[in-house]
Amino acid sequence: MAQEIDYAHDHQVRLLQGARELFPALIAAMDAARSDIQFETYIFDFTGEGASVAEALMRAARRGVHTHLVVDGVGTGRLPQDWADRLRAAGVQFRVYSPLGPLGLLLPHRWRRLHRKLCVVDGRLLFCGGINVLDDYHDPNHGRLTAPRFDFAVEATGSLVDVASDAMEQLWWRMQAVRDASQRRLPEAIEALRAASAASHAAKQDAARPGMRAALLLRDNVRHRSRIEKAYRRAIGAAREEVIIANAYFLPGGKLRRALVLAARRGVRVRLLLQGRYEYFMQYHAARPVYGALLAAGVEIHEYEPSFLHAKVAVIDARGARPWATVGSSNLDPLSLLLAREANVVVEDADFAIDLRNRLDHAMRHEGRSLDPARYAGRSWRARALDRMAFMLMRLALWLTGNRY
């Protein structure tokens, strides 16, 4: 039985597409901040518009706003020294989550990454989604892009802001405790753990206001190992008319694949918008062996072509009696669903769901290429061999982590 979602009805949630919509809203909120900014991201890249976000953080810190920044040790690595010096001088407190040691990713426990993208401003406003601090037209590995990256985030108010703030505060103090312990500062480490515990039990006193029905789903490796995947399976299982999923790195496990196949077989129109451009060997090729069963069941697959697809969103029965939508950081692949810290906002609101549906429908119709089952079946032996090799390597990697998928 899938875990119930603890929805509340006091939210306002606004959909944001790409950095071109997120960054101005994020910067405006930072410039209006009065007390504190909590910020977590997988990638913080200072090229182009990414620098504008860094400048906003520094402006806030110089005004006396308490500013915490956490970046991932793989996605970002060590901050460029000049930017690290500038952030430190401005008063921004920053930490790197799970920095890579001498052996790097050769150690399986290093594959557990901070992949969520969260920002809470003054404990009242949340930004959450799949968008890194990365210019829409810049890719660290591929250089200048001719079209913007396709991705989404949300701006939200309501009680889910408290959930995000508490989770970020706990992580901050646990990282502090680990650092103090590694430096043999045991009293400081114990105090940091007490602070993390206090953050997890902090009571919020804001009165609930009527609004949209929404919740924040967090995935970690302790208490919430499968919460996001179960929410997807539950929503797909309840679908009556339509399922649309846009996902950058799509390699769902057996249960999720079966949910999609069963939905298609009972007459639900299931459409997937997936990566159409080659970005990484493993993610590109390992996904393709699962396409056959989906296509055979009647699932429609569209490959996004103008630029890199980075979205991790879904909308189900947008025009039905129970619309459901999610926007977040979690891919439907084993790295996100089994290893990484992730965060997704789920919304049950017709206007929000229709807005997201319309944007995805436009992308599929005008910017995606439909994958014909005959063309998929007729791909070259070389492509099949690469797909199979990547799929087996992914399974081997999961075995090394002790996970089954």
User: Could you report the per-residue pLDDT of 346-358, keeping only the tens digit for each?
Assistant: 999 999 999 999 9
| Range(s) within the chain of domains with CATH label 3.30.870.10 | 10-159, 214-401
**Residue 77 burial class via C-beta count within 10 angstroms: exposed 0-12, middle 13-18, buried 19 and up:** middle
Q: Which residues contact 121 (CB under 8 A, 6 or more apart)?
A: 29, 30, 32, 33, 36, 37, 127
- Number of alpha helices (DSSP H) and beta strands (DSSP E) in the chain: 13, 17
pLDDT reported for residue 176: 84
- Catalytic residue selected from 117, 230, 285, 302: 117
How far is the first Cα of the chain from the last one, in angstroms, to the nearest whole number? Answer: 18
- Catalytically annotated residue among 11, 312, 333, 349: 312
Res 6: pLDDT: 81
- How confident is the model over 378-402, as a mean pLDDT? 91
Q: How many CA atoms lie within 13 A of 220 on its CB side?
A: 8
Instruction: Evaluate if residue 117 carries a pLDDT over 50.
Output: yes
Cβ atoms 36, 64 nearer than 8 A: no
Query: Residue 87, SS3?
Result: helix
Report the CATH fold assignment for 10-159. Endonuclease; Chain A (3.30.870)
Q: What is the pLDDT of residue 199?
A: 52
- The question of whether 117 is a catalytic residue gets the answer yes
Catalytic residue from among 72, 139, 166, 317: 317
| Catalytic residue selected from 11, 45, 68, 115 | 115
In the residue annotation, 362 being an active-site residue is answered as no
Cα(217)–Cα(203) distance, integer angstroms: 19
| Rounded percentage of the chain residues whose pLDDT exceeds 90 | 80
Residue 358: count other Cβ atoms within 10 Å of its Cβ. Answer: 12
Query: What integer pLDDT is reported at residue 346 of this predicted model?
Result: 98
Task: Note whether 288 and 350 are within 8 A (CB).
Answer: no
Looking at this protein, which amino acid is placed at residue 145? L
Active site residue 285: no
The two beta strands, 242-247 and 269-275, are: parallel
pLDDT of residue 205: 41
Rounded to whole angstroms, the Cα distance separating 136 from 188 reads 41
- R_g of the chain computed on alpha carbons: 21
Residue 135 DSSP SS3: coil
CATH for the 214-401 domain, from 3.10.150.10, 3.30.870.10, 3.50.30.30, 3.10.20.810: 3.30.870.10
Q: Would you say residue 290 has pLDDT above 80?
A: yes
At 170-228, the pLDDT tens digits run 999 999 887 666 555 555 545 544 555 555 444 444 444 578 999 999 999 888 999 99
For 395, phi and psi rounded to 5 degrees? Answer: -65, -40
Q: Is 230 a catalytic residue?
A: no
310 or 283, which is more confident: 310
pLDDT of residue 203: 40
310 noted as active-site residue: yes
When the pLDDT of each residue in the chain is averaged and rounded to a whole number, the result is 91
At 305-328, the pLDDT tens digits run 999 999 999 999 999 999 999 999
Q: What percentage of the chain exceeds 70 in pLDDT?
A: 91
Q: Which of 36, 122, 220, 355 is catalytic?
A: 122
Which long-range contacts does 398-405 make (Cβ < 8 Å, 24+ apart)? 398/334, 398/338, 400/108, 401/108, 401/111, 401/338, 401/339, 403/334, 403/338, 403/339, 405/253, 405/254, 405/334, 405/337, 405/338
Beta strands in 311-375 (DSSP E): 312-316, 324-328, 342-348, 368-370
Active-site pick, 230, 285, 302, 310: 310
> What is the predicted pLDDT for the residue at 382?
94
Q: In angstroms, rounded to a whole number, what is the distance separating the alpha carbons of residues 95 and 220?
A: 19
In Å, how far are 14, 43, 146 from 137, measured between CA atoms? Answer: 23, 15, 7
Closest CA relative to residue 200, chosen from 158, 175, 161, 163: 163
- Supply 4's token pair: 């119930």
